[in-house]
Amino acid sequence: MADERGFADVESMRPVVRAVFGSSRSLLRVERLAHGSKKGAYRLTMDDGTTSLVYVWDGSEDYWQGVLPEGADDPADPFSHASGLALFEAAARRLASAGVRCPELLLADQSRALYPADIAVVEDVAGGSLEALLESDPAAAGRPLSVVAGWLAAMSAVRSPSPGKVAFIDAGGRPPVTSCEKIMPEQPEPVVVLGSMRSAGDVPSGRGMTTVSVGRSRWIGSMSGSWTWPVVRACSGRSRAVPASR
């Protein structure tokens, strides 16, 4: 199946770059980033040295297809497969409204006129990871950690009428069970299972991926701990940020 997957390249991304930057920049290079499992993630490098990220939601970029059980994409289920431009935009709006700093969303397009899939172009935030800073200089990590603590406090103050994915709740949807206190006892016993998901040849990064199952929640990722933007879910009447994918 991996051989049948089609990924973005310079030629296919040129219309996207023109839509965002006009004629002021030209695209030099497209790099497909590692560890994506639900959507494609690409770094675009321009002729002036600047970079942006592009997220692509398409069947060929979703490694969960054919893996998840029937009904795993039910939007009313807070633990269902969370992927798609609508979810991404809703999460970004909610985080921004709470005062949480997110990479700037430069373009969101689902017309398929620029690229044959739903796409989002976002700011490429340069610099190392907080994880690396904690290991190399714990004292220096104190300031960014305090900033993150402030963001988490702001998110915890955001109220929601019921638990669920932000896009679903904001559109007027309501899950069958309307409180976390009732949802969680209905989940299977929490069991964390780590196992090889795909061979190295199946994963664009060339690395094996790992699945993590906690109750009915399932995540996939490398053991490096790489994360994408969070999807915001509401739980116990409050907004909570959880990993969108691994």
- Domain with 176 in it: what CATH number? 3.30.200.20
Number of domains in the chain: 1
Please report which helix (H) or strand (E) contains residue 29, including its range: strand 27-32
The predicted model gives 158-168 an average pLDDT of 87
Whole-number Å distance between alpha carbons of 243 and 231: 6
Whether 246 and 212 have beta carbons less than 8 Å apart is answered as yes
Per-residue pLDDT band at 76 (split at 50, 70, 90): confident
Q: Which domain holds residue 169?
A: 2-243
CA-angle at 58, arms to 53 and 63, nearest 5°: 95
Please name which of 229, 23, 227, 232 lies closest in space to residue 108, comparing C-alpha atoms.
229
The pLDDT > 70 percentage for the chain reads 73
CA distances from 59 to 65, 188, 204 (A): 7, 29, 15
The predicted model gives 68-86 an average pLDDT of 85
